[in-house]
Amino acid sequence: MANLPNVSVKVLWDQLSWGQTELCKTQSRNSPLEGEDLPRAAGLYKISWVDDSTWNQVEKSFHVQGAKCIEDVTIHFSERLTPCVLTIGKTTNLHERIRQHFGTNKNNNRMLKRLHLVMPGLTDEDIREICLKSLRVDYAEVSDWIERSLLESYGESSEVSIFDLVDAEH
């Protein structure tokens, strides 16, 4: 039986033990990038842009989907500096999820899709090459699915991860 935690989500977040890894190339055509030595465990991940020199190549706004009554569905983030948190997620397998984010399957390569919004005109391969130099993956193993869910929501709002704001109200 799953139980809700007895402490606040902030306390759980503050207790997380984060590891860090860089992206590296693989031999797989379907999953050409992965996080180096990421565990195959359940947990949270945070992908951040950390390289100042390539941050200048990023357009600092993108459009989101929203209701017609919302006047401006563009997110502007020109004031954000590196390291800039792009996304926070939860998964049952950290190793596989990061591979999927940069893979060729358009149904689960969310990071690659979002990066196209801020680097239009580049190919998937161009973006992956920039990612190798520019992105860092932080991760924390969290075995409990309820805690993962609560921590993901808390992290997205407290870290203001820009790619997790993809839909305005409907």
Give φ, ψ of 122 to 5 degrees: -90, 150
Average of per-residue pLDDT across 20-25? 96
Average of per-residue pLDDT across 33-46? 97
Q: Which long-range contacts (CB under 8 A, 24 or more apart) does 131-135 make?
A: 131/23, 131/33, 131/102, 132/22, 132/23, 132/24, 132/25, 132/33, 133/51, 133/54, 134/49, 134/50, 134/51, 134/54, 134/55, 135/22, 135/23, 135/47, 135/48, 135/49, 135/50, 135/51, 135/86
Average of per-residue pLDDT across 117-125? 96
Helices (H) and strands (E) counted in the chain, each on its own, are 6, 7
Identify the band that residue 17 occupies on the pLDDT scale cut at 50, 70 and 90.
Answer: very high
Residue 137 parent element (H or E): strand 135-141
The percent helix, strand, coil of the chain (3-state, each to 5) is 30, 25, 45
Q: For 65-111, what is each residue's pLDDT tens digit?
A: 877 888 888 999 999 999 999 999 999 999 999 999 999 999 889 99
Q: Kindly report the pTM of this predicted structure.
A: 0.94
**Strand bridging mode 61-63 / 84-91:** unpaired
**Over 80: is that where the pLDDT of 170 sits?**
no
pLDDT at 7: 95
Name the average pLDDT for the chain.
Answer: 94
Q: Do residues 47 and 136 lie in contact, with contact meaning Cβ atoms separated by under 8 Å?
A: yes
pLDDT at 168: 66
Average of per-residue pLDDT across 112-131? 96
